[in-house]
Chain A
Amino acid sequence: MTKILNVSNLEKTFSSGSKKITVLHNISFDIEEGETFSIVGPSGSGKTTLLGLCAGLDQADSGSIDLCGTGMNSLTEDERAILRNKNIGFVFQDFQLLPTLTALENVAVPLELQGAKNASKIGKELLEKVGLGDRFHHYPSQLSGGEQQRVAVARAFSNTPSVLFADEPTGNLDAETGEKIIDLLFNLNKESGTTLVIVTHDLELAQKTQRILRLKGGRILENPIDTL
């Protein structure tokens, strides 16, 4: 299998006043193409920071990340943004839909950024797939939490990403709705062969992925465990 993400000796430090806090220490792992992978750990363990670095949202202080065969360290901020647009999908804990855009416009934005002519058509198909065929022109404020997260999932898959990063995707949802969203994520992952990386502290959800990486205090507790 091809490695889609390779993380090597990653270190990240934040400043808090005059103090420096190292949030990630010497992190190394890799993920295969089409794999489902979860990062777990208690609050403050550095999971979200790690996800952000893997997705190119920030730069590490040292170490390297290769995503889809491209070394992230050598890219500028804008080049990383374009790389995300072509290869990455995101699902956030608090949905992060653009509040001034309708559901359909939200889903179409990543495709529009690529210059796709059929962005609206694909967007409609995806919204129908996630069960929101009757909500195309609703604004996020007119949708329930579950519906908003389904729009977010549809948006995450709209650019047929190589990797989908999900940050606590059920964190803001009730158990039943959360369950449905997870099913949706896994089904779409199977259908499109997208690599799925989930950050969660829900061990039950983590068990559903093929491998789990445990973090504590910014360090890997043990090498990713195969759940199968």
Chain B
Amino acid sequence: MKGNKTINSRANFGWLLKMAWRDGKASSHKLILFMASIVLGIAAVVSIQSFGENLKENISLQSKSLMGADFRIDSNNPPNERVLELMDSLGGADAREISFTSMAAFPKTDVTKLVQVRGIEGGFPFYGELETNPETAAGSYQDQGAALVDATVMLQLGIQPGDSIKIGKITIPVAGSLKSVPGSTAIFSSVAPPVLIPYRLISETGLVQTGSRVGYDYYFVAKQGMSMEQLDKNLGPQLDTQDADLDTHTSTSQRLGRRYDNFGKFLNLVAFIALLLGCVGIASAINIYIKGKLRAVAILKCIGATKKQTFLIYLIQIAVMGLLGGIAGTALGLILQQLFPLFLGDLLPVDVQMSFSPQVIIMGLLLGIFMSVLFALYPLMGTLYISPLQALRVQNESKSKSGKAGMLVLLGIFLFILLFSYWLLKDWRYSFSFVAGIIFTFSILAGIAKAFMKLIKKYFPHSWGFPARQSLLNLFRPQNQTLTLVLAIGVGTFLISTLYFTKDVLMGQATLETKSNSPNIILLDIQAEQKDAVVKTITGKDLPVLDDIPIVTMRVQSIAGKSVNELRADTTSNLNPWILNHEFRVTYRDSLITSESLQDGEWISEVQDTEMVPISVSDNFADDAKVKVGDKIIFNVQGVLLNTVIGSIRTVDWSRMQMNFSIVFPKGVLEDAPQFRVLSSNVPDEESSANLQQELVKKYPNVTIIDLRQVLTVIEGLLDKITWLINFMAFFSILTGIIVLLGAVRTSKYQRIKESVLLRTLGAKSDQILKILAFEYLYLGVLGGLSGILLSLISSQMLAWFLFDSPFLPSWIPFLVLFPGIVLLVLIIGLSNSRSVITSPPLEVLRKAI
């Protein structure tokens, strides 16, 4: 007898690979959607990750040339004896610098410009170099007693080497243009471009006066074997107590790295959302793919393949495709990252040399395999439960997928999202919030889809025409695609419009009020005796003086009976050290201004008695100094001690472009103290602004003028660059969203073909079928698109309230452009996929598709 053979399968892993290859080779065109989803998702993440890694590496490699020295001691005051002692103990500074912002005038063109004056002595920079044109200017400006002027300023104002520049009381020649200098950040340079002059000329400018904001920097080259960490640990706290700071090149690069890290994290999240949409694309594409493979699975089972074997054939296929997608996506990501420096340019602190980080490449490849397998698992489980009887035309009810296995897959997916977002954000709270946000968005959209179906069922419009009714029926019939499509369309729209609205919030924060009574030009550092003359100059040009703010500088002497030194020495004290070290610029007035509101206590407008002055502090000062209404603070006002008590605490909106203060005195106390003034005005156009600036600089060289419109142009430029990057990442989400949409439409295509063919066989005309399909996609597009936009409106409002603390005025673009665009896209994709149903004879379609 031929029976009684042992019951075990001898086909090995090699055979599974062979079958996966044979089947995959013939079905590759069906996996295009799958591949596209993986490639786009991974390219988005890899490009951002790789760029971030490169940026970090470059910052760390170039840390010394970023600072120009190994370490630096800086302070806002001339160093006291203790600081000088400490510097001596280090062998003395190798170079020193005094810097401040001031107006500079260029007599040749009669133009003035706010600049950062840096007076330098010694061999600074010790690392990196001063890039100048001509090159020799970097070495010769010191001996010549000349200036190096920011290259962009020279270009803008048409200044040539040899022309002169007037800074304060001195006029010196321009030795050359300055292309780069260690220690100047591009963002600040856009507002106040650097001008380098010899240190010895600083006193001659006459600009370093009481109240001037001056920086004193001492640069050091480390002795051999000197540890920066040890130095930071030993010297840092000692300098802190003397109101000075130690910055080592390593700590500076770490700080810079962290600053870009935050921006990178945000972009990573945007890329991760593209990746998640890609995952939805994978699940959707595999769902279609496996549906088409179920018959082959039944046949294989018929001829003796086990459940595990058939499952593994397709799992291997998916994993290999995932790996290929990972390779293509990683390669695309690595190419795309090369574009970032082109568009970000000035935003970056260093020239980023692109290299390929092995860590990112491995991540891209593993992500390809892992993502594909994880998101394909649920549709793949269908192969386990398909009965071989299906090969015999027996319509057996197929066993439903195991609920437990389905839950495990779902759990695995959430775990993957959580762990991956933790890897990107390095913060469990944010990761959990992110996952919760995703679950919430998906649940809301799913809820809307289900509620919509219920509503149609309940209030079905029986009086509508046949195509409209039929298309509505399609939305809740068995095996409908309403949920899948509303999710795909809704998530895509939600994401894109949230990015758009967030941009609105950010831009709204930076926009200057254009009303004539809001200041757009601010004059700083006006000495008390200059005030009347400056006011006269402004009013003489028919311009208003909007604010006249007196400023008195002072330091904290003691808080609640404890001196600053005691507080510094107190290890249990948790107040923020800046309070103890900061030189406060304080004003006095009798009323609150528009950016302020009273949080606690009573506002006192004027006092006669100066024994105990009731002052008002901002909420952040109160938080950082750990004080409340009634607490006593003694201030040192340029040598005179002043007893104060906190009379009120104000909430201050620091984002408003106006002069805000941490500490405000009532009238009647500081009027006679040494002070300077800040004036503000509103100039109608650039010409009158330039005119006013020229005259003021000529007459009062110590006065610093900030044209807020110029600052805003710089901010807008920066935001544009950031917006470009966000849009670039959003573009991935849009593309992946379209793929998901295509996948979802194709899944439903088979169902629609069957019904459309039946309707055509019963005599429905092509245009009726077309109408039914068009209406159905229209309903889905409108529902998904509208839900997505409304959800994003809510989330953006919440972001504006809780994160940006800013009013949110949504623009109409998402409603007028994005929404109709999405609906149209759904219609086009839906109808183009169903074209064959409409144009082919029923029998042909039946033969082909069923």
Contact = CB atoms under 8 A, between A and B. Distances in A.
Contacts of B309: 113
A105 interface: yes
Interface string A112-131: 11110000000000000000
Nearest to B293: A100
Given A98-B296, A98-B300, A81 B305 contact: yes
Given A85-B9, A92-B391, A101-B26, 11 more contacts: A4-B3, A57-B302, A57-B392, A67-B3, A70-B7, A77-B306, A81-B306, A105-B22, A112-B19, A139-B26, A162-B2
B1 interface: yes
Nearest to B30: A100
Interface in B279-300: 295-296, 299-300
Contacts of A82: 7-9, 304, 306
Chain B CB within 10 A, most for which of A77, A79, A86: A86
Nearest to A75: B7
A69 B388 contact: no
B145 to A, nearest CB: 83
B850 to A, nearest CB: 12
B5 interface: yes
Given A15-B397, A49-B394, A162 B305 contact: no
B186 to A, nearest CB: 57
A84 B304 CA distance: 5
B393 interface: yes
B395 to A, nearest CB: 8
A133 interface: no
Contact of B22 (A51, A68, A96, A100): A100
Nearest to A115: B10
B387 interface: yes
B7 A83 contact: yes
A14 B303 contact: no
Given A113-B11, A114-B10, A77 B307 contact: yes
Contact of B392 (A75, A78, A81, A92): A92
B87 interface: no
Contacts of A155: 303
B246 to A, nearest CB: 69
A169 interface: no
A30 interface: no
B12 interface: yes
B578 interface: no
A58 B389 contact: yes
Contacts of B392: 48, 51-52, 57, 92, 167
Interface string B375-389: 000000000000111
B343 interface: no
Given A33-B1, A70-B4, A160-B2, A110 B12 contact: no
A144 interface: no
Contact of A57 (B8, B306, B389): B389
B299 A98 contact: yes
A81 B9 CA distance: 9
B396 A58 contact: yes
Nearest to B4: A69
B10 A52 contact: no
A81 B388 contact: yes
Interface of A: 2, 4, 14-15, 33, 48-49, 51-52, 55, 57-58, 67-70, 75, 77-79, 81-88, 90, 92-94, 96-101, 105, 109-110, 112-115, 139, 155, 159-162, 167
Contacts of A15: 397
A78 B9 CA distance: 9
B23 interface: yes
A151 to B, nearest CB: 12
26 contacts: A48-B392, A52-B394, A57-B388, A58-B394, A68-B3, A77-B306, A82-B9, A83-B7, A84-B302, A84-B304, A85-B304, A86-B7, A92-B391, A92-B392, A94-B393, A96-B295, A96-B302, A98-B300, A100-B296, A101-B22, A113-B303, A115-B10, A115-B12, A162-B2, A162-B3, A167-B392
Contacts of B301: 57, 81
Interface string B321-356: 000000000000000000000000000000000000
B1 A109 contact: no
B230 to A, nearest CB: 67
A121 B133 CA distance: 79
A57 B392 CA distance: 9
A143 to B, nearest CB: 14
B11 A115 contact: yes
Interface residues on B, range: 35 or more
Given A57-B389, A100-B26, A100-B296, A68 B1 contact: yes
B8 to A, nearest CB: 6
Nearest to A97: B299
Nearest to B308: A78
B300 A109 contact: yes
Nearest to A33: B1
Given A57-B388, A105-B22, A162-B3, A96 B299 contact: yes
Contacts of A94: 393
Contact of B296 (A55, A69, A99): A99
Nearest to B12: A115
Interface in B126-160: none
Given A100-B27, A101-B23, A85 B1 contact: no
Given A51-B392, A57-B389, A139-B26, A85 B303 contact: yes
B673 to A, nearest CB: 89
B3 A48 contact: no
Contacts of A93: 393
A67 B11 CA distance: 23
Nearest to B303: A110
A112 B304 contact: no
A206 to B, nearest CB: 19
Contact of A100 (B9, B18, B23, B393): B23
Interface string B1-40: 1111101111110010011001101110000000000000
A106 to B, nearest CB: 9
Contacts of A4: 1, 3
Contacts of A57: 301-302, 387-389, 391-392
B389 to A, nearest CB: 5
A146 to B, nearest CB: 18
A219 B22 CA distance: 43
Contact of B303 (A51, A52, A109, A162): A109
Nearest to A109: B303
Contacts of B299: 96-98
Given A2-B1, A96-B391, A100-B296, A113 B304 contact: yes
Contacts of B393: 48, 93-94, 167
Contact of B7 (A14, A33, A79, A162): A79
A60 B35 CA distance: 43
A1 to B, nearest CB: 11
Given A15-B397, A93-B393, A98-B300, A87 B3 contact: yes
A14 B396 contact: yes
Nearest to B3: A68
Given A68-B3, A160-B2, A86 B304 contact: yes
